[in-house]
Amino acid sequence: MKQTVLGNTGLRIMPLVFGTLPLGPLQAGLSPAEGGRLIRHALDRGVNMVDTAELYSTYPYIREALKGYGGVVHIATKTHAADAATARAHVELALRELSRERLDIVHLHGARLADPFTERGEVLAELVRMKGEGKIGHVGLSSHYISAIGKAAAFPEVEVIHPLINRTGMGILDGTAAEMTEAVAACARAGKGVYAMKALAGGNLIGSARQSLRFVLEVAGVHGVAVGMLSTAEIEANLSLFNDEALDEAAWEGLEKGRRRLKIMENFCKGCGLCVAACTADALRLSDGRARVAEDACILCGYCAAACPEFIIRVV
C-alpha cells in the first residue's frame, strides 16, 4: 500500500484520505452504522487518514468505524469558529465525540475567508495554544482561496494545508487552477503537509474522475487527496487508482456516469436568503421568494445546507 509523509508533520499517510462530508446529514444522510461501515472498509484496506469537520456532523460515523479497530488512524477535523472560545469548544467536543486525547490535525475551516490570518487570528492563536496543551498534533488551514493558501507558506504555525484544487479550477474563489498550483507548491517547499479537496469539484467532474484525480495527485507538493466515498465499489476503485494498480475499467465507467446534485425542498423554503449568503460559488439565487440553484456552478460543498434553518437542502 502506497504511503507518503505529510510534510514536516512526519505523519505517514496513504494518499487516499477518506472525506466524510458526503456520508453525513448535509449530504447522503447515511446512518452512522452504514457510514461507519464504509469508513471501516477503507481502513481495513489501508486508508489511514479521515477528514471531517465540526460542520459535517460526522463524528458518530468515525466513532462507529473505529469500534474495536486496532490500527493507526490520523484524524483531521476543522473549526469554523469566529472566536477563540468557540474554537476551544469545537476542539473539546471533537475530542469527546471521537474518544481521543489528541486530534492529529485541526484546521481553521477558512473556506470563505480571503485572509484568515487577520479575520480569524484569534482562532489560529487558540489552536496553537491547544497544540501546546497536547490536544492538537498539528494546526492546519483549509481554504478555497489562493491568497490564503499562498499566505500560509509564510506562517510556521500552519503545518498542514487543505486547499481546493481541481483540473478546471471550479470553486477556487480568486483565480485559476494554475495559480492555486503555485500557492500549493510554495507551501510544500515551506514544509507544509498538503492534502487536497474537491478534486472532482463536488461531483461536477465525475464524468472525467480518473483524469481529474490523477491531475490533482500530480500537482507538485500534494501528498494526499480527500475523497468522499459512498460505496465499497467507490472505495475499491479509488484504492486501485491511488495505488497505481490495474483499474477495473467497467467499474470506473459505471462510477463516471454517476452524478450528484443539490436538492432544495422548495415547498418548505421561507426565502430567508441565508443559503445564498453562504454560497461562495455564486450558485444560489432567490426567485419568487424561493432559493434556486444553478447546477452548473454548484460545487456541492454543503455550506448552504449547513446555513439553512429549515434543513431543506440536501445533496442527492
Using the minimum distance from each CB to ligand SF4, give the nearer residue, 140 or 302. 302
In the complex, the residues that contact ligand SF4 under the rule CB under 6 A are 262, 264, 269-275, 278-279, 281, 283-284, 291, 293, 298-304, 307-308, 310, 312-313
Residues in the chain, overall count: 316
d(CA 279, CA 259): 20
Using the minimum distance from each CB to ligand SF4, give the nearer residue, 248 or 310. 310
Closest C-alpha among 208, 204, 183, 207 to residue 196: 183
Q: How far is CA 308 from the centre of its chain?
A: 20
Using the minimum distance from each CB to ligand SF4, give the nearer residue, 102 or 292. 292
Contact criterion met (CB below 8 Å) for 184 and 171 = no
Q: Which three cell numbers stand for residue 81?
A: 469558529
CB of 294 to ligand SF4, least distance (A): 8
Using the minimum distance from each CB to ligand SF4, give the nearer residue, 233 or 307. 307
Contact criterion met (CB below 8 Å) for 175 and 168 = no
CB of 197 to ligand SF4, least distance (A): 13
CB of 261 to ligand SF4, least distance (A): 9
CB of 192 to ligand SF4, least distance (A): 26
Could you tell me the CA-to-CA distances from 192 to 44, 80, 125, 189, 269 in Å, in that order? Answer: 28, 21, 18, 7, 43
CB of 105 to ligand SF4, least distance (A): 23
Identity of residue 189: R
Using the minimum distance from each CB to ligand SF4, give the nearer residue, 48 or 280. 280
Residue with cell 475499467: 249
Could you tell me the CA-to-CA distances from 69 to 15, 64, 291 in Å, in that order? Answer: 20, 10, 43
Using the minimum distance from each CB to ligand SF4, give the nearer residue, 39 or 284. 284
Closest C-alpha among 267, 188, 198 to residue 17: 198
d(CA 304, CA 266): 14
CB of 125 to ligand SF4, least distance (A): 28
Q: Which regions of 174-241 does DSSP assign to beta strands (E)?
A: 193-196, 224-228
